[in-house]
Structure 1
Amino acid sequence: MYIKWIVCQVNEGMKDAFSRAQEQWISTAQAEGFIAQTGGWNIADENEACIIAFWVSRGHAERFMASLHDRIVEENRQSETYHAINVAYFDGLLEMEGQAASLDEAVGTSEFLCVADCEVYSGRTEHFESVQQSVWLQAMKQAEGMLGGMFSKAADTSNRYLISTFRDTVVHHDRYRDDQVPLLREKASVTDDLQKIIGKQIRLVESWNVLA
């Protein structure tokens, strides 16, 4: 699986215009190899929009970029609504199981997305990947309100990872964060692995959802 992660700094007073433009990405559903896309607003920064898209493979995503992508950009004029954009690509390593039957079902029913953008120390990537499967995935699978997610590794660097998890409500996420995360961090030796981590809590906008 191939993941596209987009973060936009939206101009003051342009959130509604950005949202209307984002809704026009519904055309992506026609693209071969497309799985799902969703996004919303960062709870900690009301003008930061975050979008995540899932593709079967890098080849499928690149063919979309070379064909439909530019036409949608030209028509929705979304670039006029933000002053900064950051785009990163990741290869899916582990799909996280949850209460949803599939990743696209998790995307379609979730209200809340939690993202951890991690930089791992050189020489610690093997351990970091191992504890994702042995510690984190097992705990998340049992967590109330956990619908599903993806553990992925940056396509352009060996030490960056993206952990994206879909939750049914903010309340369930906050309970998991407060009650379970401190113990899990200790069990997984997080401080030994992580050079840097940027966490984002995103309230999803249903009208931005695109499903194949």
Structure 2
Amino acid sequence: MLVKWIRCTVVDRHGFKRGQRKWAGLLGEPGFRAQGGGWSRGAPDVAHVFAFWENRVFYDSFMARGHDRLAAPQAGTYKDLSVQLFEYRFDVKTGFEPDFTDADVVRVAHSRVYEDRVEHFTLMQQRVWNPAMAGSPGMLRGVFGEAPGHEFLVLSMWQSSAERGKYRPESIARLSARAETEKDVETLGGDVVRLEPSWTV
């Protein structure tokens, strides 16, 4: 499975939201699984969109054929576009499905990992972080993906921002120490995204 993560700063909110509805045209595209997104909780003008495809072949075919037609209505409504693709590696909680309908919040963590620490980082995700997240109230499902250049994405879906708030500083500091995250990770970024139901395809 391929995970596409799009970030941009919206300059015309109304036009962007109107254009976002056009992405319903993805339905029926060969290999398309789901798409959803919303607004950054920390930076209100930043939008995030997450799309899931069966594989790179289906995705590349869509980009060559139908993408520009669907994207055209949003032209001029945003700036600072960033698009990254990640190959699915494993579930964060068993039985991952790209389903946005029961989630309120998506948490996205993006890491660039030192080359000689990739194996350790991946192992710690499975042994330390995954069980902690899977056991957190309100955590529905998640996915761990990898991109070239030792970059990794952890995308997790939560039932509400209140539940997401319970998974906070003390426990994260303890887990980071146990996983030796500082030794593994060169850069770490991320965001908490409040989902817009009307963007779900």
Q: 3-state SS of the aligned residue for 2:116?
A: coil
Q: Distance in 2 between matches of 1:148 and 1:56?
A: 18
Q: What is the CA-CA distance between 1:179 and the residue it aligns to? A: 5.0
In the alignment, which residue of structure 2 is the partner of 1:82? 78
Distance 1:203 1:91 in 2: 24
| Deviation (angstroms), 1:125 | 0.5
Alignment deviations for residues 177-208 of structure 1 (CA, whole Å, 9 cap, x no partner): 23532221111111111111112111110000
Q: Is the 8 A contact 2:96 2:143 kept in 1?
A: no
- Give the SS at the match of 1:93: strand
Match runs of 1:34-73 below 5 Å: 34-73=32-71
In the alignment, structure 1 residue 121 sits paired with structure 2 residue 117: no
Tell me what 1:180 maps to.
Answer: 171
Which of 158, 165, 169 is residue 156 of structure 2 equivalent to? 165
What is the RMSD of the two structures over their aligned residues, measured on CA atoms? 1.3
Query: Counterpart in 1 of 2:197?
Result: 206
Task: Name the count of aligned residue pairs.
Answer: 201
CA deviation after TM superposition for structure 1 residue 104, in Å: 2.8
Give 1:95-106 correspondences, 5 Å limit.
95-97=91-93, 102-105=96-99
SS at match of 1:151: strand
In 2, Cα distance between equivalents of 1:16 and 1:177: 34
Matched, 1:93 2:86: no
Following TM superposition, by how much is the alpha carbon of 1:122 offset from its aligned partner in structure 2, in angstroms?
2.2
What corresponds to 2:133 in structure 1?
A: 140
Distance 2:75 2:124 in 1: 39
TM-score (norm 2): 0.95
Following the alignment from structure 2 to structure 1, what is the Cα–Cα distance between the partners of residues 103 and 14? 21
Deviations 1:64-116 (A, max 9, x none): 11222122123xx2021012211111101011226xx64233x2211101011
Runs of 5+ unmatched residues, structure 2: none
Q: Where do 4+ consecutive residues of structure 1 move more than 4 Å?
A: none
Identical-residue share of aligned pairs (%)? 32
1:7 maps to what in 2?
A: 7
Structure 2 CA distance for aligned equivalents of residues 180 and 73 of structure 1: 41
State the AA in 2 paired with 1:5.
W
Question: Match for residue 196 of structure 1?
Answer: 187
Q: Per-residue CA shift, 1:133-192, capped at 9, x if unaligned?
A: 1111111111110111110011xx231111110000011111112353222111111111
For residue 119 of structure 1, give the secondary structure of its aligned residue in structure 2: strand
What secondary structure sits across from 2:110 in the alignment? strand
Distance 1:158 1:104 in 2: 25
